[in-house]
A and B are shown apart, each in its own frame.
Chain A
Amino acid sequence: MLLRRVWPSRPAFENPFAEFDQLRREMLRVFDAVTGDGGREISAGVFPPINITQDDSNFYVRAEVPGIKAKDLSISALRNRVSISGKREIPQDNEHVSYHRKERAEGAFSRTLTLPGEVAADRVEARYSDGILALTLPKAEEAKPRQIAVAT
């Protein structure tokens, strides 16, 4: 906190490992170029990037899927697995344009996640807003932590 106030314009102080992280990515890129197989990191190279969190009663899965219509997303949950698949299409507005940059990718994707516990598949909720897909997966009764009262 104090550091932030003293050096407000130097984020390196907040995350001293940012540069190492950057270096690691650069190294991986070099490796990819050498081996030529597009080798991937455990978490990178897949679309969409996903975060999973949990609290006592739910698992939460959030994915960054900008520019996808909700109807093009398909989600299924069974026991402790969740699958998210879909397709991103970038509409071509008109033909007579010249591109300066084309960085946004389109295509199909599919990911299956294994959660550390079973979910109540019939009560899964999915919401899509601002390009983020948010799933709330209630834990199955047997997967919930139980408070055990100690008898005296």
Chain B
Amino acid sequence: MFKESTRDIQKVEKGSVPAVPEQTRPGPVYTPAVDIFENDDRISVLADMPGVKAQDLKIDLRENVLTLSGHVAAPESTNEASFLREYDAGTYFRQFTLSEVIDQTKIDAKLTDGVLKLELPKLERAKPRQITVKTN
């Protein structure tokens, strides 16, 4: 039974992070699951942030620290009674330190279906250069 279920997606428990000093809203703070990959000219970040609307998402890059934060308001109306609860609305928060020098003017962010896609192009001088060896 368990063997069979390995093909299915397992729910990763939303990880709570300890109190963040910047946090100004009450409520739980969650760490979004991310994929980070890079190639020669850009670093891409994909983050699962279900429920976040574009206007509630903040992306901040300073001093090589990339901060993602997004707030989700509870969608339930007040007269709804809850009888199964497996997730809660709250704030998504995650920080990364980037090693490469990022061209801040060309950062591109897209939010589709609760997934944030960030494209962080590297600065020209940070790109690896192929050096050809000349022979006489």
Contacts and interface: CB of A to CB of B under 8 A. Distances in A.
Contact of B75 (A38, A62, A128): A62
Tell me what chain A mostly uses at the interface: helix, strand, loop, or mixed.
Answer: loop
Interface in A1-49: 4, 8-12, 14-15, 18, 22, 25, 37-38, 43-49
Given A45-B11, A52-B82, A106-B9, A130 B36 contact: no
B84 A102 contact: no
B128 interface: no
Tell me what chain B mostly uses at the interface: helix, strand, loop, or mixed.
Answer: loop
Contacts of B49: 66, 131
B82 A51 contact: yes
A69 B113 contact: yes
A31 to B, nearest CB: 14
B10 A66 contact: no
B34 A50 contact: no
A53 B76 contact: yes
Nearest to B51: A132
Contacts of B114: 64-67, 130-132
Given A44-B13, A47-B11, A55 B51 contact: no
A108 B7 CA distance: 7
Contacts of A100: 36-38
A130 B52 contact: yes
Interface string B25-53: 01111000111111110001010111111
Interface of B: 2, 7-14, 16, 19, 21, 23-24, 26-29, 33-40, 44, 46, 48-53, 75-77, 79-87, 111-115
Given A47-B10, A50-B84, A64-B51, 15 more contacts: A10-B19, A11-B23, A11-B26, A38-B2, A44-B86, A48-B9, A64-B114, A88-B9, A98-B39, A101-B36, A102-B35, A104-B33, A107-B7, A108-B7, A131-B115
Interface of A: 4, 8-12, 14-15, 18, 22, 25, 37-38, 43-56, 60, 62, 64-69, 88, 90, 93-94, 96-110, 113, 116, 128, 130-132, 134
